[in-house]
Amino acid sequence: MKEVLIKLDRTRGLENIARQTLFIPPSSSKEKAVASMNSKFAGLLPATSFVHQPLCNGEDLGAELCAFVPNQEHGHIKKTSDNLTIAHISNLKWAFVSGIESKGENFFQKSQ
């Protein structure tokens, strides 16, 4: 995971990530992933959600990111908590919310 964060920081800058969804194998620890990210991000994390699922290529991490590179005239990103990021871009406000996760229930099973 550390290598992925280093690459992201070089390409877009970690401070410009507004939302991230991390796909990790069911056997992986969410807490371990958060600890790795906390060591690389300055301040709060962007709105971050975790999806525990096997990755199709056998990798340990998959990611879906939404990043903005605002300039001083047209916006900024404000991380209010690890579950909420507000991006002000060109007179628009985008709210990115995360942390809504299942507790392991299978939502596709028929209710009784």
Say whether pTM exceeds 0.75.
no
> Does residue 107 fall inside a structural domain?
no
At residue 26, the pLDDT reads 82
* Rounded Cα gap, residues 64 and 22, in angstroms: 7
What's residue 85's pLDDT?
Answer: 92
- Which strands make up the sheet holding 92-97, listed edge to edge? 75-81, 84-89, 92-97
Token duo for residue 40? 């690389």
Q: What is the pLDDT of residue 14?
A: 83
pLDDT at 102: 60
Grouped pLDDT means (10 residues each) for the chain, 112 residues: 76 82 84 82 85 80 80 77 86 86 55 53
23 assigned to some structural domain: yes
pLDDT of residue 72: 64
Provide the pLDDT for residue 95: 93
Measuring CA to CA, which residue among 38, 99, 97 is closest to residue 87? Answer: 97
Domain span holding position 44: 2-97
- Predicted confidence at residue 105, as pLDDT, reads 54
Which residues have a Cβ under 8 Å from the Cβ of 32 and sit 6 or more positions away? none
pLDDT of 97 reads 92
Query: What sign does the dihedral 8-10-14-16 (CA atoms) show?
Result: negative
- Please state whether beta strands 47-52 and 17-24 pair in parallel, antiparallel, or not at all (unpaired): parallel
Say if 53 falls within a structural domain.
yes
The domain that contains 93 carries what CATH number?
3.30.1330
List Cβ neighbours of 60 (8 Å cut-off, separation of 6 or more).
1, 24, 25, 28
Number of domains in the chain: 1
| Bridge partners, residue 97, by sequence | 84
- Assigned domain for 108 exists: no
Are 85 and 18 contacting, i.e. CB atoms less than 8 angstroms apart?
Answer: yes
